Amino acid sequence: MKIDVLTLFPAMFAGPLDESIIMRARKAGLLELNIHQLRDWTQDRHKTVDDRPFGGGPGMLLKAEPLFAAVEGLRREPTKVILLSPAGRNFSQAIARELAEAQDLLLVTGHYEGFDERVRDALADDELSIGDYVLTNGALPAMVVIDAVTRLLPGVLGDDASSRDESFSHGLLEYPQYTRPAEFRGMKVPDVLVSGNHAEIEKWRREQAQLRTRQARPDLLT
């Protein structure tokens, strides 16, 4: 998969995507990642990307011209153009799975008060939010999407982690887990887990996952 990102802050992307599983996927050629500076598509001396809203009001908007020039220059069919903004649909594991099937993604990250509405109308195939809180710009949301999608690409995770994932996708939280020592500062590992009785362990884990989900995330059960 190829993912292109349009941002005013390309330096923010150095680091998080240069480590661990994502970097391994990039080195293996499973993910081609290109970070682009939106200002490179401006025409004026000052490389202006923003302007004031018609009708007045606070703040600045990202101008249509550089965004249209950039998106039209970068996309090649079939590229999915995705805006990151608080007005998008809530990003989820289901959407990550959907995007992992796509050919190429072009992530367009907002700044200021948002985009000229014509960007949404004429360029965007989708608009995603990573949650109901306000960030300073769309770089972190773009990285969240890239991370969640990349780990689902075929070959990126080992078989172990992939099948473990399957069991999460039936919608329960993980059961409690422990590693050595069996007693730490007086806190003991539940007896059943050291009993060697695998049927009982299975049963305990199923119950604990249910219980934990009901207590912490009842919304997942509805």
Instruction: Give contact residues for ligand 4GX (rule: CB under 6 A).
Output: 84-87, 110-111, 113-115, 129-131, 133-135, 137-138, 141
CB of 134 to ligand 4GX, least distance (A): 5
91 vs 204, which CB is nearer to ligand 4GX?
Answer: 91
User: 74 vs 5, 30, 118, 125, 212, CA distance in Å?
Assistant: 10, 19, 18, 15, 45
134 vs 199, which CB is nearer to ligand 4GX?
Answer: 134
Picking from 147, 151, 115, the residue whose alpha carbon sits closest to that of residue 130 is 147
CB of 108 to ligand 4GX, least distance (A): 9
142 vs 172, which CB is nearer to ligand 4GX?
Answer: 142
Q: CA-CA distance, 139 to 107, in Å (whole number)?
A: 9
CB of 97 to ligand 4GX, least distance (A): 19
* Residue 15 Ramachandran class (φ > 0 left, ψ -120 to 50 alpha, else beta): left
82 vs 172, which CB is nearer to ligand 4GX?
Answer: 82
Q: CA-CA distance, 59 to 218, in Å (whole number)?
A: 39
What value, to the nearest 5°, has the Cα angle with vertex 85 and ends 82 and 88? 70
CB of 138 to ligand 4GX, least distance (A): 4
CB of 14 to ligand 4GX, least distance (A): 19
Picking from 137, 97, 133, the residue whose alpha carbon sits closest to that of residue 114 is 137
87 vs 194, which CB is nearer to ligand 4GX?
Answer: 87
Q: What is the Cα 71 distance to its own chain's centre?
A: 20
